Amino acid sequence: MKASEAGASARVRTFEPSVFLVGLSLFATMGACSEEEGEQPIVFELAVSGAASVDGAQASFETYAGWKVELDTALLSIGPIYFYEGEAEDGSLASLFSLPSAYACPSHAQYNKGRVLGELLRQEPVDLLVGRSELGALDGLSGRLRAAELHLHPWGEISSTPNNGASQALAQQTVLFRGQAQLGEQSIAFEAHLDIPDEGLMRVVESIDTDVELRGDGSGRVLFEVLLDQVFATVDFASLTTQEQNVYVFTADTQAYNALLRGLRSRYAYRMSWSEP
C-alpha cells in the first residue's frame, strides 16, 4: 500500500466532527430557503388532433346551443404553443383543492406562469379531421405540466413549416371550417374562413388547464386536442346573413362570428394528454 492510499484509508475510518458539521451546516443552508429543482432535460413528441369533448366522431357533434354540425373541412393554423409548469387560472386542481390560481390584469403586469417545460416555436397548418397530426419532437424539461398557452396567428405570420395542402387552403387566415349545421327543420351550409383580430392578446389562448407528467426518454407524446364541439359551442348559425354560392359565410357583424371567435379563444376548447408506448 502506498503512503497516500494509507492516508486516504485512515481518513475514511476516522470520524471527523468538523467535516460532519460543515456538511450539516451546508445541508441546512440549502434547505432553509430553497427547494431543490429536480427537472431533467427530456425530448417528447407533440401531436395535434380534432376531437369532441364527449365521445363521438370529431367531424360530427351537437353543440351547446343545440345545433347538429357536420364538418367536412377543419383546418387550423396552430402555434406557437408553450407548456407551463404553473397552475392555470381556474385550473381543475384549484377548484378541487382551493390551490393557487393566478390571473392577469388589464393594464397591469401579468402574473408569472411558471417555468416553460416545452415549447413549439413555429406554427403548423393542421387538418383536424384526419386523426393525429404528428408535429415532431420537442426539447423540454421533465416535470408536471399544469397549463398550456396556444397562439393562433394567420398562416404565414410566424416561422413555419413548408407549405402543404392545408396551408394553401388556409390562405393566410387562421381557420377554415366548412360544413352543414342543422337545428330542427333548419339546415345551413356554412364556411368560416377567418383570423382573430390582432388586438392585445386576442390571438393567445391562455391558461389551458391540464395535469400531465412530462417524463421519459423521448418516446412519450403530448396529444393536444382541439375540441370542435366547444369551438362551435354557442354559435347561432341562423344569425349568418351573407351567402356566397349558396353557402353562408361568417362575417364580423354576426353573432356566429363573435361566438366562433370566443370558442376559438376558449381555454375549455383544448385538451392535453400524455402517452408512452
Partner 1 sequence: MNPSRQLTIFLSVALLLSTGCTSEDEAGSGALSIAVGGGAAVREGFPHDEGAVRFEFADGWTLQFSKYIVSVGNVTLSSGAGKTVASWPHVMLMDLTTSPTASLDLALLEGVPALRHEIAFDVRPPDADTTLSEVDEADAALMRERGWSLLAEGSAVHPTHGTVRFRLGLPLARHYYNCINGKDQTQGIAIEANKTTGVFIYAHAIHIFWDTLSTGDEDLRFEAFAAMRGDDDLVTEEELEEQDLNNLRGIDGQRLLDQDGSPVFYNDNGLLRPGEQTLYHFVLQAFRSSAHFNGVGLCSDSALVD
Three-state secondary structure readout of the chain? CCHHHHHHHHHHHCCCHHHHHHHHHHHHHHHHHCCCCCCCEEEEEEEEEEECCCCCCCCEEECCCCCEEEEEEEEEEEECEEEECCCCCCCHHHHHHCCCCCCCCCCCCCCCCCCEEEEECCEEEEECCCCCEEEEEEEEECEEEEEEEEEECCCCCCCECCCCHHHHHHCCCCEEEEEEEEECCEEEEEEEEECCCCCCCCCEEEEEEEEEEECCCCCCEEEEEEEHHHHCCCCCHHHCCEEECCEEECCCCCHHHHHHHHHHCCHHHEEEEEECC
75 to 134, contacts with partner 1 by CB under 8 A? Answer: 89-90, 94-95, 98-111
Q: Which is nearer to partner 1, 44 or 237 (CB)?
A: 237
Choice from 175, 176, 214, 261 touching partner 1 (CB under 8 A): 261
Q: Which is nearer to partner 1, 174 or 230 (CB)?
A: 230
| Binding of residue 262 to partner 1 (CB under 8 A) | yes
Q: Which is nearer to partner 1, 17 or 41 (CB)?
A: 17
Choice from 6, 21, 137, 171 touching partner 1 (CB under 8 A): 21
The whole-angstrom separation of Cα 247 and Cα 128 is 21
Choice from 47, 156, 266, 274 touching partner 1 (CB under 8 A): 266
Please, are residues 175 and 75 in contact by the beta-carbon 8 Å criterion?
Answer: yes
Which window, 5-13, 132-140, 153-161, 265-273, contacts partner 1 (CB under 8 A)? 265-273
209 to 238, contacts with partner 1 by CB under 8 A? Answer: 230, 233-234, 236
Please, are residues 71 and 60 in contact by the beta-carbon 8 Å criterion?
Answer: yes
Report, in Å, the least distance between residue 208 CB and partner 1: 8
Size of site (CB under 8 A) for partner 1: 57
Report, in Å, the least distance between residue 1 CB and partner 1: 26
Which window, 74-82, 160-168, 176-184, 247-255, contacts partner 1 (CB under 8 A)? 247-255
44 to 73, contacts with partner 1 by CB under 8 A? Answer: 64-65
Residue type, 164: N
Report, in Å, the least distance between residue 231 CB and partner 1: 11
Please report where in the chains the cell 390582432 appears, as a residue.
198
Query: Closest by alpha carbon to 52, among 107, 138, 129?
Result: 129
Report, in Å, the least distance between residue 87 CB and partner 1: 9
Q: What is the x/- site pattern for partner 1, positions 189-208, by CB under 8 A? A: --------x-xxxx-xxxx-
| Binding of residue 29 to partner 1 (CB under 8 A) | yes
| Binding of residue 11 to partner 1 (CB under 8 A) | no
Here the cell at position 60 is 360530427
Choice from 113, 221, 267, 271 touching partner 1 (CB under 8 A): 267
Query: Closest by alpha carbon to 152, among 56, 72, 79?
Result: 79
Residues found near partner 1 in the complex (CB under 8 A):
17-18, 21-22, 24-26, 28-29, 32-33, 64-65, 89-90, 94-95, 98-111, 197, 199-202, 204-207, 230, 233-234, 236, 239, 252-253, 255, 258-259, 261-262, 265-269
